[in-house]
Each structure stands twice: as C-alpha cells, then as structure tokens.
Amino acid sequence: MLDPREVRAGNWVLKITGTDIGKQSFFEYKAIALDEYYYTFAKSCFPISISPLILIKCGFSQVSGNWQIQLEGEDHEDPAFLSLRQEDKCWYLRNMKIWSQPVYLHQLQNIYYAPLNKELNIQLGKFENLAMIGPIDFFVKPWKKPSLNHELL
C-alpha cells in the first residue's frame, strides 16, 4: 500500500477502482484530487514504480544512456534539470545527487514539484490489467468431497 504521508494532491497512483468488468478496470492510473482525504484514499492505492515506459510518459528523454528532462527554454548544453545517470544509477537535480533516491512516480513528481511549484507533465493513459488480475468466476462448480463409500474402496 501507499504511505499517505508521501503523497499530495496531483500525485499519480495506481488505484483500485472496482469490479465492474464491463465498464471499468480493476486498477486505474489516477491523480489524487484536491478534495480526497489522503488516509482513506491511500488504503486503496499502490505506488507506481519508475520504469523506462513511465519516464517516457513523463516527458523524459534518453541521451547517451541517461534519462533526463530539461525545463522549457533551456539549452541542451546546460545540465539537465532532473536526470537518472547510467554510470551510478542515481538521480540528480542539476549536478547534485539526490540524497533520497526516488523509486516511485509520486516521489519523482514531488522532487520535480518542490523547486518549481509546477507539476510534471504526465500522460499515462489507461492501465492495462494483468491477466491474473480478473474477476472471480462464481459460476464454477464447487469441488465436491468424495462420499465415505468411495474412500473405503
């Protein structure tokens, strides 16, 4: 589950949304709304792990093996605003190593938001549920215990 002390309105999480298989997924990518109570919300949410696909959806680009994002209007010769460097697999804000390395998307969002007071532009789209996460088939016949006569034979 998610630690509600780490999230704020605007953070993206993986939320359990219900069981209506005809219309909604079991899980969806959702941003926490301003009017949601974090402690209740966090009970039905999971953090989103940072992956190359998530970084692409957040506007990061890969340059010389490093994942980085520049601010609008910055020259590409300037150090990247936020980067994941290949040589040590650590995150950097400009050229300073971040002491608490983000593992989840909401942590990365908070690192971006803190100095800029601006949200990271995230375009996640729909979450694709795994095949193993699906509805329970209540129409399966229950297993019947063999009768005593069969056990004695």
Could you read off the pLDDT of 35-63 as tens digits, one per residue? 776 667 767 788 999 999 999 999 999 99
As beta bridge partners, residue 83 has: 68, 92
Task: Tell me the mean pLDDT in the region 14-38.
Answer: 71
Going from N- to C-terminal start, the domains of the chain cover 4-132
Percentage of the chain surpassing pLDDT 70?
A: 71
Cβ atoms 102, 109 nearer than 8 A: no
pLDDT band at 23 (very low <50, low <70, confident <90, very high): low
pTM of the model: 0.75
DSSP-assigned letter for residue 55:
H
HSE toward the beta carbon, residue 120, CA cutoff 13 A: 29
